A and B are shown apart, each in its own frame.
Chain A
Amino acid sequence: MANALVFIDNPGAALKKSSLELLTIARSLGETAVAFTGELNDDVAATLGAYGATTVYLPSEEDLDNYLVGPKAAYLAAAVASSGATAVLLDNSPEGKEIAGRLGIKLNAGVITDVVGVEADGTAHKSVLAGSYNTTAKATTPVTVLSVKANNVEPSPVGAAAAPATATIEVPAGAIANSARIAARTEKPVSGRPDLSEARIVVAGGRGVDGDFAPVEELADALGAAVGASRAATDAGWIGHDAQVGQTGVTVSPQLYISAGISGAIQQKAGMQTSKVIVAINKDAESPVFEIADYGIIGDLFKVLPQATAEIKKRKG
């Protein structure tokens, strides 16, 4: 019997860091099992074992990815029943949250999203109202479903561990009929930069870049950072919508957030104000972003960013 079940959705050739974080948290809750979808190669199986998973469940159906969340939630509910787990951990991606939501109804289980920390008894910590409150919440039901934000624990393996056992879970027959079908899918080009939601450093540009993201991108590359943007910049088409940070974009909580040419509207702050250190570059001293910046520079981003990039390159040799 497992105590915690971690959902890992189609990771491809290697596990994402966020999955390793979930496995690390799961271990603190007790014996861990994994509900897996996609191809389980030997490397991935060995990593799951090294992170303490004793059983890996696989679905009887292979095409769960052709539907929106419904069949995955049904599969996961069946895996919870088989494993006896009392805590289910998922990614905090939009899809992870939706699977969590549907699973909660199927299992009569409380769901807590946007979790940043989990205690051994399942109490969850999160921040709400755009980062203005820290709360602790708990499910009052026998099973707890938690979607956990990335970057809140250091992943740590248990050391040398046996490869986990595998078991197949029958996906309930009705699950597919009632789901939306994905009729077409195109993969977006990948940038080679770190994933925005998981990056340790984010450099973001706003309307102030006036169509030219090069200084933002060059500083990001010098720092090994992800590139973010305000909605004004994505709406203008200067950069893809995926880069939008904020209420209706990605929420980030990196070690360092550098905001350049962004005024700091409430919807932008909602996505970045839990960053550890905030640096703002803006030529308007009255910009609200300066109210929350640890280090603010009143100046022209086209002068400040390239100078900083050159200086970093010089110091790194």
Chain B
Amino acid sequence: MKIVVLVKHVPDAQFDRHITGSGNTTDRDESILSELDEYALEAALQLAEEHGGPKAGNEVIALSMGPSGAVNAVKKSLQIGAYSGVHLSDDALAGSDAAATSLALAAAIRHISADGRPVDLVLTGMASTDGETSLIPAQLAERLSYPQVTFASSLEVAGNQVTARRDAGAFSETVEAQLPAVVSVTDQINEPRYPNFKGILAAKKKKIASLSLSDIGVDASQVGLAGSWTVVESAEARPPRTAGTIITDDGDAGIKLVDFLAAQKLL
């Protein structure tokens, strides 16, 4: 099986995050591998292992699109266990919305398939932890004409079919699709492994391919702010919430709480 895992380099949510400059894009200093992508990577590694690992011809390729720093998301993925990495980077990609991002990623996946071994499965996290739109899996599937399975909380591949469980909404569902497919996984699916010392050493020997737009046959006008179908016209930092009244319970805090709710007309 040839599995591509999409990994994104995102601003660390533990720090203040900022929208800056023209085009109102997110400041990417202090970025890390989006933690929701670790579940997709773990799912890919488990699938590959269940199917005989690298010796049986399985591949787990971590693919990241983003500026030079984004290669760190690929490196971290290799330390965790991805077999090889691909970094798609081009100045023209800056500011891409989901539509433009999915266009570039679809082209990158076609490129990765073009070595005679087509990609079977594209795995992603349930959302990036910065944009949080969850649009990429759906838009990528649409562009590649693959079925999509989203929010998988379990995953199996047998022969040419992927079977997943989904727990979203009012139903629990079992879903089946033919490969090749795009599958996004939730944070319920597994416990991602950490890189260990051996993994960190091994990662140094693994290959990271660098791709530019011309390598994947995409024109600069199709991506970035120019190729996006949406613009962010303004972005204003919300005043941070300030702490209100804090009381210590002296035995009547429940009653004071009801007084507060009544005063706020919330009863």
A residues with CB within 8 A of B: 68-70, 73, 93-95, 97-102, 104-106, 108-114, 123, 127-141, 178-188, 190, 201, 223, 241-242, 247-248, 255-256, 266-267, 270, 273, 277-279, 281, 285, 290-300, 303-312, 315-316
Q: Does B115 contact A (CB under 8 A)?
A: no
Interface string of B8-35 (1 = CB under 8 A from A): 0000011011010000101000000000
1/0 contact string of B138-165 vs chain A (CB within 8 Å) = 1101110111111100000000000100
The total of interchain contacts (Cβ-Cβ below 8 angstroms) comes to 261
Question: Nearest 4 A-B pairs (CB), nearest first?
Answer: A307-B254, A299-B249, A110-B229, A101-B138
Name the B residues within 8 Å of A242 (CB-CB).
Answer: 167
Q: Which residue of A lies closest to B172 (CB)?
A: A186
Residue B266 lies at the interface, judged by CB distance under 8 Å to chain A: yes
A-side contacts of B170, CB under 8 Å: 187-188, 190
Distance from B109 Cβ to chain A, minimum over Cβ atoms (Å) = 15
Does B89 count as interface, using CB distance less than 8 angstroms? no
Contact A132 B249 (CB under 8 A): no
Once A70-B147, A277-B266, A293-B246 are accepted as A-B contacts, the answer to whether A111 and B230 lie under 8 Å apart by CB is yes
Given contacts A178-B145, A181-B177, contact A186 B171 (CB under 8 A): yes
- Indicate if the CB atoms of B238 and A131 lie closer than 8 Å: yes
> How far apart sit A300 and B16, CA to CA, in the bound complex (Å)?
31
Q: Which of B139, B176, B230, B264 contacts A140 (CB 8 A)?
A: B230
Residues of B within 8 A of A (CB): 13-14, 16-17, 19, 24, 26, 36, 97-99, 102, 126-127, 129-139, 141-143, 145-151, 163, 167-177, 181, 186-188, 228-238, 240-241, 243-249, 251-258, 260-262, 264, 266-267
Q: Which of B142, B243, B255 contacts A101 (CB 8 A)?
A: B142
Contact across chains for B266 and A111 when beta carbons are under 8 A apart: no
11 A-B residue pairs with CB within 8 Å:
A70-B141, A98-B150, A105-B139, A110-B97, A136-B232, A242-B167, A256-B261, A256-B264, A290-B243, A293-B243, A296-B245
Establish whether residues B253 and A311, one from each chain, have CB atoms under 8 Å apart when the complex forms: no
> Once bound together, how far apart are the Cα atoms of A182 and B172, in whole Å?
10
